[in-house]
Every structure is written in C-alpha cells, then in structure tokens.
C-alpha cells in the first residue's frame, strides 16, 4: 500500500523541533505576562469575509494566499492566515470594549497561507501573536516593541534588525496616496505588473510592497510616507522613537516599510535576521486604529505584532527534550509487572520515565536506555526479584550502582534519583 504523505508546505514537528516550539511558547507566556498580557484562543477557521474586510482585498494574503472553501451549506470559510482579524472579531463579539479599558491579549497557533514553500516559508506555520486595544498613546507603541525585543533577547537572539516606520493616519494618508498615484502615472506605469496597474489607483501603498523586481525598481524613488505625515502623526512617531532611544532599543528608520496587510496606521515595525536565507522577517506588527470599527466594533485603537515560530526555530536550532528521570530495565520475565507498579508509584510522586514490557539482556537494556536519554536506569533482574529489591544505576552522576529494597527506594526516591 502506498504511504499517505502530508500536504505540501505542512510539517510534522517531532520532539526535538517541538521542544523548541514549547520553549518559545513558555518564554513568550512569561515575558508577555510581565507586560500584563493574557491568553486568548480563537478558532482556526473563520468566515472568509472577516479576512477580506479586515486584511484588505488587494493584499497578496487575501488575493492569493488564503485556504478558502465552502462548508456543506455553501458558506465560505477560510483557515486563518493571521491572528489579528480573529482576535478583533472575538473582542468585538464579546463586547470587551469599555471606555478607558485597555485589553491585552496574546494568542499562539497555526496560521495558513498558500505561498510557495521554501526555507522559513510554510503553508502551515505558527505565530506568537500579541494585540492591545483601547489606547492610541505612543507609549503603547514603544512598550509593545519593548516586549517584543525583550522576548527575542530572552530566547537568545541578538543579531536582529528592527525596522520602523509611520504610515500616517486617515487624515494624512489620502494626500500621500495622491502623491504616489501621481508618481506612478508619471513614471513607467505600463511596466508595473498587472496587479500593481490594477491597484495603483485604489491602493497605491500595495505597489510599494510588491515583490516583482520591476515594480521594486519603479518604486525606488517614490515619495516617502514620512515626508507626508501630518503634525499629529509626526509627534506620535517622535515620542515612539525617543522612548526607544531612551530604552537603548536600536532601530533603523525605513520609509518603505508598508507591511503586507491593509489595516495598519501610524507605527509599523519589522524585525529581521540575515541568518535564515531569503525569508528574513522573524516578526512584524504595528498600529491598526481603524480596524475594530471596520469590523463592527467601537472606534477603539489597537496595536500588535506576530513572530514567526518556524523562523525563530531556524535561528535557534533543534533542542534535545529534557531527559526523563528513569527507565526500568527488566532482565527477568517475572519482574515485568513489578516494573510497571514501580513506574506507576514513581510517576505518582512526580517522576517521569518508562518501564520495559519485556525482559532483555542487561547489555541490550542499557543500550536501549542510552538512546532514551534518561537520568537513571533501575534494574530488575532475577536476583533483585528474589530479594524484593532494585538496582539503581545513575547515567549522569559518578555514582556506584547500588541495590536496595524496593520499599526503601520508594520511601526515599529523591535520595536515589
């Protein structure tokens, strides 16, 4: 029979890879918790319109990359390509908004984008995501970047670049858009790719984000957003930058950083590494003050970011899972049940490990234990069985093997393990 293979761009994460993912999640939970964020879990599947409305029809994510299909009743559903839209929907649906209240959530999990798979780019990938609602204060922008950079520092990543930009607001963006449209018209409009020719009038910022090399060449001299933002946006951005300066967070200003999703306003940022091939962005985010209202909620400000876990894992490498406390090797058939009962009692005390279901020679039992990565091997052979005892061999410490009564061992397990 032919083997069933996993879907292209989807991956299985075996223990050495999962251990890195767990480490990332545990560290993120701790660091995000220090900033008063709490966990929110939203569904993986949402109505398609949530993403078309929330992320924008002209984006690559919505236009080309969504896993969308009808359910049995013909309703269009989409596997979430990112977490922000779902978190906003949940926030609005649960009426979480109250004037003056600030809500902070983090959410971890699988996202889906129908992209061409390559190193650091999967069709199913995982994000560590954080969102904050209820304040437009620039201090919140700086704080969210503090949280992200502290997290990246604590997982051990140092050689990263923080890029920063401001995209302006509903007041100043229209004027910037006009100057972009004028620029494209005067420049080589005909050479823009088909997508960009179509969206250059309606959504000219997307052209700045296009990956087509000709489009990239054309936008090189395009007007810069930072030259067009209004006084309020400029003041907002200045406070963000000065707080980052004061905190010693290094960053590079990049007026081309428009991000691939339509909901951003004002501060945007991206963090990248040169050590993972062509897919360099490990995290990205920004402010999205109009999104909650756009998705049916109050006119409440929001800001957040997401880290790509696969890309962080590429930078960190694989991790050996923590060794177990014991393996019970059985070298006499009669001791197989006793081994299970000892294992059960040890687990009830909080120790981890396993017991053999079969009897084997001492040599092969030790070889097996070696592969398992355990701290101690407990041996139950004919001698031990006859004397109701167990032999304990430490695999890590320089300690002589000792044989004690099972009762004595279980009564003081912490002295032996």
Contact partners, residue 155, CB within 8 Å, separation at least 6: 23, 24, 27, 312, 316
Residues 292 and 133: beta-carbon distance below 8 Å: yes
Helices and strands, counts by H and E, the chain? 17, 16
How many whole angstroms separate alpha carbon 112 and alpha carbon 63? 14
In the complex with ligand HAM, the residue whose CB is nearer, 251 or 326, is 251
Residues 306 and 83: beta-carbon distance below 8 Å: yes
- Torsional sign, CA 61, 67, 69, 71: negative
Task: Give min distance, CB of 85 to ligand HAM, in A.
Answer: 8
In the complex with ligand HAM, the residue whose CB is nearer, 286 or 381, is 286
Task: Give min distance, CB of 39 to ligand HAM, in A.
Answer: 15
Q: How many CB atoms lie within 10 A of CB 101?
A: 11
In the complex with ligand HAM, the residue whose CB is nearer, 144 or 244, is 144
Task: Give min distance, CB of 273 to ligand HAM, in A.
Answer: 10
In the complex with ligand HAM, the residue whose CB is nearer, 12 or 246, is 12
Radius of gyration of the chain (CA): 28
Q: How many CB atoms lie within 10 A of CB 216?
A: 14
Q: How many CA within 13 A on the CB side of residue 126?
A: 19
Task: Give min distance, CB of 287 to ligand HAM, in A.
Answer: 8
Task: Give min distance, CB of 33 to ligand HAM, in A.
Answer: 18
Pairing verdict, β 161-166 and 265-272: antiparallel
Alpha-carbon dihedral 42, 43, 47, 49, rounded to 10 degrees: 30
Task: Give min distance, CB of 235 to ligand HAM, in A.
Answer: 22
Burial 154-171 (b: 16+ CB within 10 A, else e): ebebeebbbbbbbbbbee
- Which three-class secondary structure state does DSSP give residue 90? helix
In the complex with ligand HAM, the residue whose CB is nearer, 168 or 304, is 304
Task: Give min distance, CB of 292 to ligand HAM, in A.
Answer: 12
In the complex with ligand HAM, the residue whose CB is nearer, 164 or 330, is 164
Binding site for ligand HAM (CB under 6 A): 82-84, 113, 115, 120-122, 125, 127, 129, 131, 260-261, 281-286, 304-306, 308, 310-311
In the complex with ligand HAM, the residue whose CB is nearer, 124 or 356, is 124
In the complex with ligand HAM, the residue whose CB is nearer, 84 or 165, is 84
Task: Give min distance, CB of 76 to ligand HAM, in A.
Answer: 21
In the complex with ligand HAM, the residue whose CB is nearer, 268 or 356, is 268
How many whole angstroms separate alpha carbon 3 and alpha carbon 12? 15
Alpha-carbon dihedral 150, 154, 157, 159, rounded to 10 degrees: 40
Residues 62 and 52: beta-carbon distance below 8 Å: yes
Task: Give min distance, CB of 171 to ligand HAM, in A.
Answer: 21
């Amino acid at each position: 029979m032919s083997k069933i293979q996993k879907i292209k761009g989807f991956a299985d994460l075996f223990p050495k890879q999962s251990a890195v993912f767990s480490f990332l999640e545990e560290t993120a939970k701790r660091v995000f918790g220090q900033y008063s964020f709490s966990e929110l879990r939203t569904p993986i599947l949402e109505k398609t319109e949530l993403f078309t409305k929330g992320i924008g029809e002209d984006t690559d994510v919505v236009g080309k990359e969504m896993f969308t299909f009808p359910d049995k009743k013909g309703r269009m559903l989409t596997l979430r390509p990112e977490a922000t839209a779902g978190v906003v929907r949940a926030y609005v649906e649960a009426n979480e908004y109250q004037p003056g209240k600030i809500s902070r959530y983090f959410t971890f999990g699988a996202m889906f984008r129908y992209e061409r798979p390559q190193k650091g780019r999967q069709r199913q990938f995982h994000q560590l995501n954080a969102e904050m609602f209820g304040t437009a204060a620039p201090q919140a922008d700086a704080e969210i970047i503090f949280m992200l950079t502290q997290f990246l520092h604590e997982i051990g990543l140092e050689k990263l670049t923080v890029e920063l930009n401001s995209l302006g607001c509903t007041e100043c963006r229209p004027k910037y858009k006009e100057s972009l449209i004028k620029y494209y018209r005067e420049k080589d409009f005909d050479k823009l790719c088909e997508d960009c020719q179509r969206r250059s009038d309606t959504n000219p910022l997307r052209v700045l984000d296009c990956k087509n090399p000709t489009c990239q060449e054309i936008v090189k001299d395009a007007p810069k957003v930072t030259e067009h933002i209004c006084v309020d946006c400029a003041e907002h951005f200045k406070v963000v930058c000065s707080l980052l300066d004061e905190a010693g967070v290094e960053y590079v200003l990049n007026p081309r950083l428009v991000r691939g999703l339509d909901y951003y306003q004002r501060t945007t940022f991206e963090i990248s590494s040169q050590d993972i091939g062509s897919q360099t962005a490990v995290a990205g985010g920004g402010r999205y003050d109009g999104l909650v209202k756009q998705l049916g909620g109050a006119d409440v400000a929001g800001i957040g970011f997401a880290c790509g876990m696969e890309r962080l894992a590429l930078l960190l490498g694989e991790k050996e899972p923590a060794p177990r406390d014991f393996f019970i090797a059985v070298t006499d058939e009669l001791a197989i049940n006793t081994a299970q009962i000892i294992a059960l009692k040890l687990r009830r005390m909080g120790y981890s490990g396993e017991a053999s279901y079969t009897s084997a020679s001492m040599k092969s039992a030790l070889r097996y234990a070696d592969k398992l990565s355990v701290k101690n091997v407990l041996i139950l052979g004919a001698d031990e069985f006859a004397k109701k005892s167990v032999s304990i061999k430490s695999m890590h410490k320089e300690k002589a093997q000792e044989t004690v009564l099972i009762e004595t061992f279980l009564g003081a397990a912490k002295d032996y393990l």
